[in-house]
Amino acid sequence: MSLDLESRLKVFLASAPQTVWPIQTLEISHSAMSRTFHLWREPYPGTTYVDGVAMAMDPCNIEIKLAGSEGNLDQKFDIRIGLVDIEDVFRDELDRIPVATTEKIKIVYREYLSDDLTTPQATATLQAESISYAIGAASISAVAPRLNMTRTGEVYSPKDIPMLRGFL
């Protein structure tokens, strides 16, 4: 009898089994890049599945600081990628992106359980806000796409509504 994803996550989070661990993956793409990077933190190449489509994953040193709720709505992900390759392919792909472009680099974060690489347990579609690159390493600051940049509503202040002073 197989358990659904919600039941499997409950078992994983409640018991912390030593034989199952979370696997974080990144998909980095841009229309000007000639290829899409599929990276994971495992020491060997492998395959994950998204909607039944196989994705070949390349091993890479990845450190991801997940977004927290620190009193802001930006929900920024800090990603460090150790891309140690002699050809420096990632840098060459970044150089293909025009400086004056307004299109952001798309990053898709997925997290799987190690015993089932067919169903992601978490997915976040992000856009790169800034990228800093040194030889063999990249730091990316990524946030969720800002789809609504207009502000709505009114700002309430004690100057306009004196009764608010009791609540502040």
What are the residue boundaries of the structural domains of the chain, listed by start? 5-167
The pLDDT value given to residue 20: 81
The pLDDT value given to residue 70: 58
What 3 state SS string does the chain have? CCCCHHHHHHHHHHHCCCCCCEEEEEEEECCCCCCCEEEECCCCCEEEEECCEEEEEEECEEEEECCCCCCCCCCCEEEEEECCCCCCHHHHHHHCCCCCCCCCCEEEEEEEECCECCCCCEEEEEEEEEEEEECCEEEEEEECCCCCCCCCCCCCCCCCCHHHHHHC
User: What pTM value is reported for the model?
Assistant: 0.76
The pLDDT value given to residue 94: 86
